């Protein structure tokens, strides 16, 4: 068992099945130039979209953070899938980007995306330090509450 898989198990974290693209002809993950790029992932569990609506209207900050965490779990599921179940190939987490479907008067966008950043820090420890963008948007695909994408440096 890899170190990252052992860490997931020790933390009691289960990853969902890596979702297939819903509407676009894209790759959900791609390795290029020593980096792994994972396309934006929604807060779904094994194909079931769990957080539909706006943070600040249908969901409070805590629920938004949970949606971001679930989206990040799907990022890791995509990474695991393309890396042949070997998450130890990830040398470091380079960048996360989080998009939050927000009500017009909701301003805790960065705090919402912390749900994803905190998960990455838990799982990867020092290798999980990353740059990040957190953006509030007026509309998301499928009216999902959050979407998270990532870039990883590979060994």
CA distance readout (Å), 131 to 69, 96, 108, 149: 17, 6, 18, 12
- Is the pTM higher than 0.95? The answer reads yes
CB 80 within 8 A of CB 18: yes
State which residues of the chain have pLDDT below 70.
Answer: none
Per residue in 20-32, pLDDT tens? 998 878 999 999 9
Q: Residue 32 sits in a domain of what CATH number?
A: 3.30.1330.40
* pLDDT value, residue 1: 72
Tokens of 15: 């990853």
* pLDDT value, residue 62: 98
* pLDDT value, residue 24: 78
Q: Which domain holds residue 85?
A: 3-15+23-154
Long-range contact pairs involving 26-29 (C-beta distance under 8 Å, separation at least 24)? 28/78, 28/81, 28/82, 29/78, 29/79, 29/81, 29/82
CA-wise closest residue to 136 among 145, 127, 128: 145
Place of tokens 């396309």: 39
The helix-helix angle for 109-124 and 61-82 (nearest 10°) equals: 40
* pLDDT value, residue 153: 98
**Total domains present in the chain:** 1
């Amino acid at each position: 068992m890899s170190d990252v898989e052992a860490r997931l198990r020790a933390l009691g974290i289960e990853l969902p099945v890596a979702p297939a693209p819903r509407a676009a002809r894209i790759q959900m993950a791609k390795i290029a130039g020593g980096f792994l790029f994972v396309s934006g992932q929604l807060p779904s569990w094994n194909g079931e979209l769990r957080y539909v609506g706006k943070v600040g209207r249908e969901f409070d900050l805590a629920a938004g953070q949970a949606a971001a965490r679930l989206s990040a779990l799907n990022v890791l599921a995509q990474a695991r899938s393309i890396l042949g179940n070997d998450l130890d190939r990830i040398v470091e987490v380079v960048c996360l980007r989080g998009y939050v479907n927000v009500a017009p008067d909701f301003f805790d966008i960065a705090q919402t995306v912390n749900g994803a950043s905190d998960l990455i820090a838990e799982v990867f420890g020092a290798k999980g330090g990353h740059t990040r963008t957190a953006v509030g948007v007026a509309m998301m695909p499928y009216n999902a509450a959050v979407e998270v994408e990532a870039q990883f440096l590979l060994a």
